[in-house]
Amino acid sequence: MVAKETKQTRPGWDEYFLNIVEAVGKRSTCLRGKPGCVIARDNVLLSTGYAGAPRGAAQCDEVGCLIKEVKHSDGHVSIHCKRTVHAEVNAILQAAKNGIGIDGGTLYCGMCPCRDCAMVIVNSGIKRVIVKDDYHESTESKDLFVGAGVELVILQNK
């Protein structure tokens, strides 16, 4: 006689891919966080990326961050590390390098992408962006996504 098994509780697809984002981010060499990114379409993982300097270049965890001040049009100043390529761009580049089409896909990341990443995401053909947390400088990214018809879902608003 075969015992009846209890149905397991499985994560939904968005939760599943965000869990993978965390694992991918552990490879990041960024000292300011461990950002990771995955791209999927039709619930199939297509590409991953994490923050790090370009191949062959010194990494932040080896030589420190390359911090630059950025003065914005409204007068406020923010600081950013300019040594690393962001996780979102690295995931898109990895797909391109391997000949993997991501048009119509969903991009998952831990935080709402910056404006530069948002522009690359829009031009790559990604149609959905799912993020765990908002980013304090995300207004321009959100506007870009709305204008381009890219759905943005922010699961938490820290």
Instruction: Give the catalytic positions in this structure.
Output: 88
The rounded distance, in Å, linking the Cα atoms of 43 and 45 is: 7
Tokens 């381009």 -> residue: 148
Residue 155 phi/psi, 5-degree rounding, is: -80, -35
- Strands (E) across the chain are located at 36-41, 44-50, 67-71, 77-81, 106-111, 128-133, 151-154
The rounded distance, in Å, linking the Cα atoms of 88 and 114 is: 10
